[in-house]
Amino acid sequence: MLYQAASNRYQQMQYRQCGNSGLRLPEISLGLWQNFGSVDDPTNFRQILFTAFDLGITHFDLANNYGPVPGSAENNFGKILQNDFATYRDELIVSTKAGYTMWDGPYGDWGSKKYLVASLHQSLKRMRLEYVDIFYHHRYDANTPLYETMSALDLMVRQGKALYVGISNYGPAEAAAAFDILKSLGTPCLIHQPKYSMFVRTPENGLLETLQHHGVGCIPFSPLAQGLLTNKYLNGIPDNSRATKELFLKTAHITQEVIEKVRQLNAIALERNQSLAQMAVAWLLKDQRITSVLMGASSARQIQEAVAGLQNTAFSSMELASIERILAS
Ligand SMILES: NC(=O)c1ccc[n+]([C@@H]2O[C@H](COP(=O)([O-])OP(=O)(O)OC[C@H]3O[C@@H](n4cnc5c(N)ncnc54)[C@H](OP(=O)(O)O)[C@@H]3O)[C@@H](O)[C@H]2O)c1
């Protein structure tokens, strides 16, 4: 059946300005790292995407290697773009990245111009797009001159293959150097994508300040710590949960110590009339330097739950102090 987007889709979502740019992103964006590959159920992932867009989520985040198999998330998303979202292309922000291993040999990894330009070419073909809205360098490469990597991003914009560029997994010093080069080339950096959640606080050690100083947006990935910051694992490890796949989140990560913290965080969330997943998203959005929270989902229901939680993103100082006590315990 032909997908028809909900007519009220822009009434329930807030959009935040991305750094000093003119682009606004939804408070929640959806990533296609897992659950959208060739091994996954197309009926389910189509429903996730439709539900997200119906709730005002306009930004979908991909990378060349998302799958499994690598490339298949872009390919699946491309089919949906062509068949279901074709009339909505100009309402969507589609991002992709390159920087991790994608193909054999010296030109399928890291940060050379050769790799990045070829990879974007492949991504556009898989997604059946003329351009992406955001292209990211996926991780810092100490063995390629930063000027070469940033020149490749600038070239993509000049060629009309990307509208904006970003970086991901760069530390504050490398990020600042990249921003300066991009500015000198006339292609300011739009956004940085770091790992950030109640469990992973690294961006608080200088990165958030650097982004604010340079007018660059911030889109934290894995805001739910891959599902740990939800009520999912409180009573054991459910079948089909991400941990059972033993890929990036492993059952060995779900220790008694972690679950004890999750149990206490869950109690605070309940006092706020929220689920823990909702509180984990809100906890990031309380900081106005955060442009959008980039979550993943294995069901449409998880998206509905997260968006419903956007009604309450404010925290009392007592709540924040209690959260800090739990995390430090
Ligand atoms: N730049 C990078 O290097 C990088 C790295 C990683 C990710 N990313 C981006 O960030 C996106 C999000 O990453 P992520 O998937 O790790 O994010 P996440 O939001 O921390 O984890 C998503 C997972 O949490 C579980 N979940 C979500 N809502 C839930 C709920 N209400 N109740 C219980 N469980 C819930 C689901 O796992 P189940 O399958 O267990 O249901 C879901 O797949 C990726 O898709 C990708 O676009 C970027």
> What b/e readout covers 281-304, taking b as 16+ CB neighbours within 10 angstroms?
bbbbbeeebbbbbbbbbbebebbe
- pLDDT tens, position by position, 40-63: 999 999 999 999 999 999 999 999
CA–CA separation, 127 vs 75, rounded Å? 6
- Mean pLDDT over 215-241 rounds to 96
CA–CA separation, 26 vs 171, rounded Å? 25
- pLDDT tens, position by position, 260-276: 999 999 999 999 999 99
Ligand 1 centroid to residue 315 C-alpha, Å = 23
CA–CA separation, 34 vs 86, rounded Å? 23
Residue 64 is encoded by which pair of tokens? Answer: 């060349």
Our answer on whether the CB atom of 60 is closer than 6 Å to any ligand 1 atom is: no
Our answer on whether the CB atom of 226 is closer than 6 Å to any ligand 1 atom is: yes
**What is the architecture of the domain spanning 15-225+288-313?**
Alpha-Beta Barrel (3.20)
How many other CB atoms are there within 10 angstroms of residue 93's CB atom?
Answer: 21
How many other CB atoms are there within 10 angstroms of residue 69's CB atom?
Answer: 12
Q: DSSP state, 195?
A: B
Q: Are 30 and 52 in contact (CB under 8 A)?
A: yes
Of 63-77, 214-228, 239-253, minimum mean pLDDT range: 239-253
Instruction: Check pLDDT > 90 for residue 247.
Output: no
Our answer on whether the CB atom of 266 is closer than 6 Å to any ligand 1 atom is: no
Please give the angle made by the CA atoms of 193, 199 and 205, to the nearest 5 degrees.
Answer: 60
Q: Are 13 and 52 in contact (CB under 8 A)?
A: no
- pLDDT tens, position by position, 151-204: 999 999 999 999 999 999 999 999 999 999 999 999 999 999 999 999 999 999
Residue tagged 């994608």 (tokens): 102
Choose which residue among 192, 198, 302, 305 to substitute to test ligand 1 binding: the one with the highest number of ligand atoms within 8 A of its C-beta: 302
- Ligand 1 nearest atom to the CA of residue 306, by list position: 31
**What pLDDT does residue 297 have?**
98
- Give the closest residue (by CA) to ligand 1 atom 48: 221
Ligand 1 centroid to residue 184 C-alpha, Å = 35
Choose which residue among 232, 278, 301, 304 to substitute to test ligand 1 binding: the one with the highest number of ligand atoms within 8 A of its C-beta: 232
Residue 30, phi then psi, degrees to nearest 5: -115, 130
Q: Could you tell me the pLDDT band of residue 121, with boundaries at 50, 70 and 90?
A: very high
String of DSSP letters for 2-63 = -----TTTTSS--EEE-TTSS-EEESEEEE-SSSSSTTS-HHHHHHHHHHHHHTT--EEE--
- Give the closest residue (by CA) to ligand 1 atom 27: 297
